[in-house]
Structure 1
Amino acid sequence: MAIDLSFSDTFAQRHIGPSDTEVDTMLDTLGYESLDALVDATIPDTIRTERPLTLPPAQTEEQVLDDAQSRGEKNDNWRSFIGMGYHGTLTPPVIQRNILEDPAWYTQYTPYQAEIAQGRLEALLNFQDMTIDLTGMEIANASLLDEGTAAAEAMLMLNRVDRRSDASTFLVAEDCHPQTIEIVKGRAEPVGIDVIVEDPENFVFGEDTFGCLLQYPTTDGAVRDYSTIAERAHENDAYVAVAADLLSLTLLEAPGEWGADAVLGSTQRFGVPMGYGGPHAAYFATRERFQRQVPGRMIGVTKDADGEMALRMALQTREQHIRRGRATSNICTAQVLLAVMASMYAVYHGPEGLKRIATRVHDLTKTLAEGLRRTGHSVRHDHFFDTLRVDLAETKQERIRERAEAHQMNLRYYDDGSVGVALDETVNAEDLDALFTVFGATNGQRLYADEVAADLDSGYEGPVARRTSYLDHPVFNKYHSEGELTRYMKSLAGKDLSLTHSMIPLGSCTMKLNPTAALMPISDPQFAKLHPFAPKEQAQGYQQVIEELSDQLTEITGFDDVSFQPNSGASGEYTGLLVIQAYHEAQGEGQRDVCLVPESAHGTNPASANMAGMDVVTVDCDDNGDVDLDDLREKAEANSDRLAALMVTYPSTHGVFEEHIEEICDTVHEHGGQVYLDGANLNAQVGLCRPREYGIDVCHLNLHKTFSIPHGGGGPGVGPVCTAEHLTPFLPGHPVVDTGGENGIPPIAAAPYGSALILLISWAYIKLLGPDGLTKASKTAILNANYVAEQLSSHYDIVYRGPNDRVAHEFILDLRPFRQELDVTEQDVAKRLMDYGFHAPTMSWPVVGTLMIEPTESESKAELDRLCRAFKSIRDEIAEVESGAVSVEESVLKQAPHTAEMVTATEWTQSYSRETAAYPAEWVRENKFWPTVRRVNDAFGDRNLFCACPPVDAYDADEEDELEAALDA
């Protein structure tokens, strides 16, 4: 045999769990001779692609990292003083290493299972407490996607809570950030809100105005006293939303104190790199009376089965999978990992540290302003925090630009000839010296920042100065050394189950391996420090990655083009529907406003359609869980003149490849509609079939699922939209950076390329696997799901199966008979799995009373077998209840999960042994994961909503009345 000089250690063999020998064993269990035979039996022949992927061959990790470095070197990291909501920041290395780069944090799942998520729940509660304190509001959520979309969510929330049916006008101050203005206008139009952009000082609040949005400080730096405007708004029954710079609120009066009803913004400058636009965590705070209208997720305080303090996601009935078309928004992905980073930044620096940082930034800005005045220029606003708008003396703007570029600086250039300069915590005196030179302070004698500063007093002395304290809770005042913070973060991580402990078999969520090599480039300063509004010629490395990833995804899906702007899957859904609407309008068919949505669809689907201003018509499913073709034809025909789109998930939400997907597409096209694919399940299709080839017109992809961006405990995510050629001209644009289609819809996200930094992960993942590895990954995902389904099918019923009795990459385990006959619920099984060291599969979705399992291709046969043994053992425990050997109330299932404190208590009153409780399987002894609280009391938490860090004495309360009293305090 000839010598093979290619690398033998490939990424595919590291990413794909089962070895070749294990694959053969699993196939033998299923009765197939090869992976191809299994795939042929699973996916309908009619939709199998005839063209293999034509991507470059797989690269080694070292080669991909070299490629990433070479692209990073093409980015020019000039000093950016642009501002506009994005600022340089210093990420404490202790947070970078122990949060951003720690798989114990970035591989966690959304904390629906509170008992094994107390660590990140506490970190998010800290985030909410930080937000509440700094904004002066009463409640806050656990993060949104970015500042612009948070402003749009505030507008929609205030519109919902306004009781006047005819109030449809919303004022946006003209000095808000331009990207925010355009996002708000874009979100308002589909739902019939009239946005007026003007100076709020001159605006007359009429009966038709329900609210306004103010920027604090303004986009060009002015600090204004808005109390009079807030009074005028409230006198006319209008609400006030404020987009506030969070760091400035350590020096400026909290908006809640002068009349704001909602406060929002970005936490990016709290230690999260700019990353060419994201990911960053937005914050959102409001009045307590709006608690059930708040978009996104809130963390709340409750108690567990022993009456001990516990944390949980509060008010989960607002989630889209329950409310569907009645959801308060389509927000699904938050920015949890980034919110955790921002909260730890506040914990590390504490109130005094944050104030020192803010004061130094303001002192730098005062020094710059004074130097510019000495140079002959004028600063437009007398009162500012960190941003100046400079009206030039005799020097022309173009001359300033030339000097700035010579010094490798990016400034903000206004149409009226003025120049903007925004400073941040990374700025030093030498930067000011260079800025003085750029602005012409060289008239025979150089101006030096240290000399100018010597004549000035430190601190903020303008209007609306802060008088109230903030971050008084002990958590913000005790972890200021690196050692203490490291221990605190590790203690929290130890309370959370993540992929570092065991597989997370969540259907529809694709919790696969997040390759370390693909994650490494996001820490590279050449990528991390770039401002999203830097000129494109300074971002050539990013532009190359974006172009290459676009080419990769269009080859994989068969589409024409991609927009990376949506920074979540739900945002991608909304974008795709707006693109379809824009297309219909361009065709002179703007009346098309009906969206067909199968009853099995993700809950964000109908929520997105409602946000896009469409009327949702639900399509039935047949007994096998497939779209009911007769019902589809009937409803397409009935709405033929108005049919805009069908939203469909493929493989179906029920975990099967429906055989009539092409007929579904044809039916919609015959009646003038477009077919939108929810791409959440592309994990079973890559290399095997292309959505465009079987009739899809537009789809979003979940890069945080199929293409291995980490889940991060509930975000970050990326939801790029792929379009056929006829829809490409309508991809979203941006007011600052030229991007999108020639007739693009308004921006969907604040940054032109959304969460650009983490696009590197999917780009690297695809390069690491190459065409053969990507295809094998899809085949193995199908194999693993069918293997687990086969192992469990003699113990539990499988709800739906596709062609040849096969499932796709996920399947639904039916627990409904146990609920009906024994009062053993899917929740009992989910909690008991924690004692075996596993996170529960997706619970009660898409079918109530079931568990949806997705093993992914990353898990080895050994891990799959371990999960199967856990489920089989739990079935034996259910059988004990069936036989009457134990009552359901006294069963191990109802008492699960079991904490170390419970098992080691002096008194043991359970009908089963301590060993059964704690070590139900032999492997659990080898690597025991202990839930830190007993089963949480959801109802108590909703009745007593408390979403800030509770007073210290509340942790000692063990009775309901004592706990309620402590929370009230």
Structure 2
Amino acid sequence: MSLNIHYQEDFQDRHIAPNANDTAAMLQAIGVSSIDELIEQTVPQKIRLKSPLNLPKAKSEIEYLTDLRQTASLNKVYKSYIGQGYYDTLTPGVILRNVMENPGWYTQYTPYQAEIAQGRLQALLNFQTMVIDLTGMEIANASLLDEGTAAAEAMFMQYSLRKNQQATKYFVSDQVFAQTIDILKTRAQPYGIELVIGNHIDFTATAEFFGAIVQYPAGNGEVFDYTHFADTLHQQNIKLTVIADLLSLTLLTPPGEWGADVVVGTTQRFGVPMGFGGPHAAYFATKDEYKRSIPGRIIGVTIDSNNNYALRMALQTREQHIRRDKATSNICTAQALLAIMAGFYAVYHGPKGLKLIAERVHGLTVCLAESLNQIGYQVLNKAYFDTIQINLGELTGSIHKECLDNNINLNYKGNQVSISLDETVSFEDVKLLVRIFSKVKGIAADSLTIVEEVKTTISATLQRQSSYLLHPVFNSHHSEHEMLRYIKSLETKDLSLCHSMIALGSCTMKLNATSEMIPVTWPEFGKVHPFAPADQVLGYYTVFDELDKWLSEITGFAAMSLQPNAGAQGEYAGLMVIRAYHQDRGDHHRNIALIPASAHGTNPASAAMAGMKIVVVKSLENGNIDVDDLKAKAEQHAADLSCLMVTYPSTHGVFEESIIDICNIIHQNGGQVYMDGANMNAQVGLTSPANIGADVCHLNLHKTFCIPHGGGGPGMGPIGVAAHLVKYLPGHSVVDINNEKSIPAVSSAPWGSASILIISHAYIAMMGGEGLTDATKYAILNANYMKARLEAHYPVLYSGSQGRCAHEMILDCRGFKNFGIEVVDIAKRLMDYGFHAPTVSFPVAGTLMVEPTESEPKHELDRFCDALIAIRKEISSVENGSLDKVDNPLKNAPHTSAVVTANEWSHGYSRQTAAFPLPYVADYKFWPSVGRVNDSHGDRSLICACPPLESYLEEEVTA
């Protein structure tokens, strides 16, 4: 027997699930002889790439991780005292291992199907409760992208709510973090909002202003008493936003008690690694009267069909996918996974633990300040929490050198330095800092005395008196055993990719391989501050440079910006780049965006945020863009045309053959083409945005390039641009990444959620060009196989000229309404079969949009098809009268274990039909933890914090 000593396991074979036998069977069912024949029938020849992707040879998993270890070693993990919104933190091991590194949490989808997402919804409700309690506000959302974005959302909400339409000025304290001011500038430009940046003490409130924003504690560390400032603003009907450090609010009077209208910030220091900038969950809290204007998602309490406590996403009618260009925000991706971690951090430590951490941080800061004062340095702050500022004068260079020699980073601004402490700082760390500052002054180490008896510098009027986190959830799980069981109890209520495929059209729930995830929590990546000096982060720069080159090759573009930290953020960034391009050419009037009627809801919302006017382009009956209507409107608005926003393949799951003509029409009329990259999973290696004629495209790395969805975030939405747009890519005010004519930043950190870029870097490196292309082919194969199995039972709405779909398809369920069955009934019934529903009623109301991805094997595709076919038979039973139109498995779905095992069973179908409708379900049953949730009840009586369960149920009895 000869032995193969050169065998190397291919990662591609792990990522792409169907084997050779599966492939042959699926091709036969479709009616083609090869995958290449299927691709020829699916992807128009004139848009096909002429040559294969020019990417490095694929690496095995062990090769990649070994090489990445070498790259990671180029990052120098120094002790960071830079602060400015980013702090080192201690992630409790029970949260790190069982949430952040656990696919049961990070592969979940956004909780639109509440009945199989109760654990995550409870964790997010905990997060909201934590934020409400600490800020002293009345309502909070379930997270935003980062602190800067949250501040910008607050500004725009206040702008939208203003009663005086002539008020266009917004006051910004000069002590707001620089990166946040940068984002405020970006968001203010399209609306003509004038930012007035200055000292809040000198500010004079007038009717020209609609809002103001301050940092608490301030950027220089000072804890100001803003009470008088808030009163002055309110006398002029000016609303106040406060950017508050959550940890400090365990000691400081919360903004809600001294006049804030909105409180925003980051929860990063609640156990979430810095990760060179992200991902981190921002928070947004405000008054109850603004609940219909608050951006992002809100988790609310309601009841289920059995009158039991249940949770769901509340007030969804205000979301951008419904309101479109009337939306007040384009926020789509939140930061659910990181919000869950932060909420669990508060659960684990409880109010006492959080206060002790805050007291220790504050105490060590006072210790440092007084010790430095004692040796002759002048600490400029009077009252502070964790940050002090010192004027070093001519000693700046010497201090800088000594700190670097001791692997320490401080925050330098001219001759002033600020030092921010965090929960990882020890008394020994403070002693080292004092020795360094003493050495520079020539003071001998043996003559030093460290001040250990310290008292707070915070005045009595600013010391928190109110209680917080009184709910039992924050006072019951402080041992690791209790915490572990609590985390697991919630995890078991959520369906994730650990259980079954999640065939969501436009969302691409594919394999998030463990090897791709492992490096994210390496300290060389996780413990790096986003404003660390460039020579300390060469490992990150290596990853960024390679990812930029690879994504540019895949898209056909000249360069990428890795900064946008969500898909909708990428849309906005791309449109702002187009806007800058037109303005730079003197075409300030170009503000018309053509958007197809079938577009994602974030498209018109993003265009509106970029200051554009939306003109809707009609769709034909076959779902394609009406080219004649497009041409007419492009010519009609030629003088003012800014861009077309188009998704390709189309939102209907078809490669439109007229796409090149469509792009040409836009260019001929002076516009640019923005391609929404939601469906890149059907393009990679076969065609590209540049090949079809696009100028800009955002990529959902949390879809096509394997960053997991995390239950509704994190995401990343970098943009690629053609050569003439490169100079306008986003810059940054703190770290010099600016291009020649950059737009201001769109995210707080220079490279967005940098630590998770490693996941996409790993995916591309281990797949290589051939593997990525095969992944696209198998995504199309799997979708067409499911189409072949399902089209005899459900009408498939759209297909290409040769009867093929791209990587997704739309099943038409509208006809079932004739006998009382709605598409939502099918979605809920799928839960009884162990599946998450496909995308419901988008892009066409009353339909299901199905996308299987290349990572699903044939037997899983068959299980899902079997479930849908069985449900179709149940619908037929309702149609022919075998099942009652009201009392049937679809209308009563999902069925919980409590309902199925109850002593009484009064339905006209069996318990087995309810809970085990197909044989495979009995082998591994996933039980929905609640019955069908009552959305309207929850919206009528909105509760978005943890209520005492007993009192809530008592309200139901008396209602």
Same fold (TM over 0.5): yes
Deviations 1:273-304 (A, max 9, x none): 00000000000000000000000000000000
2:838 to 838, 841, 863: 841
| Counterpart residue number, 2:632 | 634
Could you tell me which amino acid in structure 2 is paired with residue 260 of structure 1?
A: A
Q: What aligned pairs does 1:131-146 form with structure 2 within 5 A after superposition?
A: 131-146=131-146
Deviations 1:304-358 (A, max 9, x none): 0111110000001112221111112000000000000000000000000000000
Deviations 1:929-948 (A, max 9, x none): 00010000000011111100
| Counterpart residue number, 1:924 | 921
CA contact (8 A) 2:366 2:455 kept: no
Q: Cα distance, 1:452 vs. partner?
A: 2.7
CA contact (8 A) 2:431 2:450 kept: no
Could you tell me which amino acid in structure 2 is paired with residue 401 of structure 1?
A: H
CA contact (8 A) 2:178 2:733 kept: yes
CA distance in structure 2 between the aligned counterparts of 1:7 and 1:699, rounded to whole angstroms: 39
Could you tell me which amino acid in structure 2 is paired with residue 887 of structure 1?
A: D
| Counterpart residue number, 1:658 | 656
| Counterpart residue number, 1:960 | 956
Q: Cα distance, 1:57 vs. partner?
A: 1.4
CA distance in structure 2 between the aligned counterparts of 1:481 and 1:97, rounded to whole angstroms: 16
CA distance in structure 1 between the aligned counterparts of 2:244 and 2:222, rounded to whole angstroms: 12
CA contact (8 A) 1:359 1:460 kept: no
Q: What aligned pairs does 1:496-645 form with structure 2 within 5 A after superposition?
A: 496-645=494-643
Q: Cα distance, 1:192 vs. partner?
A: 1.7
1:903 to 889, 900, 904: 900
| Counterpart residue number, 2:308 | 308
| Counterpart residue number, 1:405 | 404
Q: Cα distance, 1:164 vs. partner?
A: 1.4
Q: Cα distance, 1:756 vs. partner?
A: 0.2
2:715 pairs with 1:723: no
1:861 to 858, 861, 864: 858
- Structure 1 residues 63 and 641, CA gap change in structure 2 (3 angstroms): same
| Counterpart residue number, 1:941 | 938
- Structure 1 residues 22 and 924, CA gap change in structure 2 (3 angstroms): same
| Counterpart residue number, 1:967 | none
Could you tell me which amino acid in structure 1 is paired with residue 188 of structure 2?
A: A
CA distance in structure 2 between the aligned counterparts of 1:440 and 1:555, rounded to whole angstroms: 53
CA contact (8 A) 2:223 2:458 kept: no
CA distance in structure 2 between the aligned counterparts of 1:447 and 1:333, rounded to whole angstroms: 55
CA distance in structure 1 between the aligned counterparts of 2:514 and 2:100, rounded to whole angstroms: 12
CA contact (8 A) 2:217 2:223 kept: yes
Q: What aligned pairs does 1:254-265 form with structure 2 within 5 A after superposition?
A: 254-265=254-265
2:387 pairs with 1:391: no
CA distance in structure 1 between the aligned counterparts of 2:405 and 2:306, rounded to whole angstroms: 66
| Counterpart residue number, 2:872 | 875
| Counterpart residue number, 1:197 | 197
Deviations 1:240-263 (A, max 9, x none): 000000100000000000000000
Q: Cα distance, 1:132 vs. partner?
A: 0.0
Deviations 1:738-770 (A, max 9, x none): 114211000000000000000000000111111
| Counterpart residue number, 1:472 | 470
- Structure 1 residues 2 and 802, CA gap change in structure 2 (3 angstroms): farther
Q: SS in structure 2 opposite 1:242?
A: strand
| Counterpart residue number, 2:61 | 61
Mean CA deviation greater in 13-22 or 268-277: 13-22
Q: SS in structure 1 opposite 2:388?
A: strand
| Counterpart residue number, 1:363 | 363
CA contact (8 A) 2:509 2:853 kept: yes
Mean CA deviation greater in 4-13 or 809-818: 4-13
Could you tell me which amino acid in structure 2 is paired with residue 95 of structure 1?
A: I
TM (norm. structure 1) is 0.98
| Counterpart residue number, 1:336 | 336
CA contact (8 A) 2:383 2:457 kept: no
Could you tell me which amino acid in structure 2 is paired with residue 951 of structure 1?
A: P
| Counterpart residue number, 1:886 | 883
Deviations 1:109-163 (A, max 9, x none): 0000000000000000000000000000000000000000100000001111111
Could you tell me which amino acid in structure 1 is paired with residue 851 of structure 2?
A: E
Deviations 1:556-603 (A, max 9, x none): 111000001100000000000000011111112121110000010000
Q: What aligned pairs does 1:430-469 form with structure 2 within 5 A after superposition?
A: 430-440=428-438, 443-446=442-445, 451-457=449-455, 463-469=461-467
Q: SS in structure 2 opposite 1:804?
A: coil
| Counterpart residue number, 2:686 | 688
CA contact (8 A) 1:223 1:463 kept: no
- Structure 1 residues 444 and 395, CA gap change in structure 2 (3 angstroms): same
CA contact (8 A) 1:359 1:459 kept: no
Q: Cα distance, 1:455 vs. partner?
A: 3.0
Q: Cα distance, 1:239 vs. partner?
A: 0.3
2:127 pairs with 1:127: yes
CA contact (8 A) 2:371 2:451 kept: no
Deviations 1:62-90 (A, max 9, x none): 01111221111000011111100000100
Mean CA deviation greater in 95-104 or 375-384: 375-384
CA contact (8 A) 2:141 2:285 kept: yes
CA distance in structure 2 between the aligned counterparts of 1:812 and 1:2, rounded to whole angstroms: 51
Q: SS in structure 1 opposite 2:565?
A: coil
CA distance in structure 2 between the aligned counterparts of 1:6 and 1:32, rounded to whole angstroms: 35
| Counterpart residue number, 1:70 | 70
CA distance in structure 2 between the aligned counterparts of 1:183 and 1:459, rounded to whole angstroms: 32
Q: Cα distance, 1:4 vs. partner?
A: 5.6
CA distance in structure 1 between the aligned counterparts of 2:709 and 2:832, rounded to whole angstroms: 23
Q: Cα distance, 1:961 vs. partner?
A: 5.0
Deviations 1:618-674 (A, max 9, x none): 000111101100000010001001001000000000000000000000000000000
CA distance in structure 1 between the aligned counterparts of 2:7 and 2:628, rounded to whole angstroms: 54
CA contact (8 A) 1:363 1:459 kept: no
Could you tell me which amino acid in structure 1 is paired with residue 50 of structure 2?
A: E
| Counterpart residue number, 1:915 | 912
CA contact (8 A) 1:383 1:462 kept: no
Q: SS in structure 1 opposite 2:675?
A: strand
Mean CA deviation greater in 319-328 or 284-293: 319-328
CA contact (8 A) 2:384 2:457 kept: no
1:760 to 758, 761, 772: 758
Q: SS in structure 2 opposite 1:196?
A: strand
| Counterpart residue number, 1:95 | 95
Could you tell me which amino acid in structure 2 is paired with residue 410 of structure 1?
A: N
CA distance in structure 2 between the aligned counterparts of 1:776 and 1:445, rounded to whole angstroms: 67
Q: Cα distance, 1:410 vs. partner?
A: 1.0
CA contact (8 A) 1:572 1:720 kept: yes
Could you tell me which amino acid in structure 1 is paired with residue 519 of structure 2?
A: P
Could you tell me which amino acid in structure 1 is paired with residue 781 of structure 2?
A: L
Mean CA deviation greater in 458-467 or 73-82: 458-467
Q: How many residues align?
A: 958
| Counterpart residue number, 2:813 | 815
CA distance in structure 1 between the aligned counterparts of 2:571 and 2:759, rounded to whole angstroms: 22
TM (norm. structure 2) is 0.99
Q: Cα distance, 1:422 vs. partner?
A: 0.4
CA distance in structure 2 between the aligned counterparts of 1:533 and 1:961, rounded to whole angstroms: 55
CA distance in structure 1 between the aligned counterparts of 2:151 and 2:189, rounded to whole angstroms: 15
Q: Which runs of 5+ in 1 are unaligned?
A: 965-969
1:798 to 792, 796, 799: 796
Deviations 1:15-51 (A, max 9, x none): 1111011111100111111101000100000000001
Q: Cα distance, 1:202 vs. partner?
A: 1.0
2:351 pairs with 1:351: yes
Mean CA deviation greater in 881-890 or 931-940: 881-890
Deviations 1:435-454 (A, max 9, x none): 113323564432799x5343
Could you tell me which amino acid in structure 1 is paired with residue 565 of structure 2?
A: N
Could you tell me which amino acid in structure 2 is paired with residue 269 of structure 1?
A: R
Q: What aligned pairs does 1:246-325 form with structure 2 within 5 A after superposition?
A: 246-325=246-325
Could you tell me which amino acid in structure 1 is paired with residue 62 of structure 2?
A: E
| Counterpart residue number, 1:16 | 16
CA distance in structure 1 between the aligned counterparts of 2:7 and 2:56, rounded to whole angstroms: 15
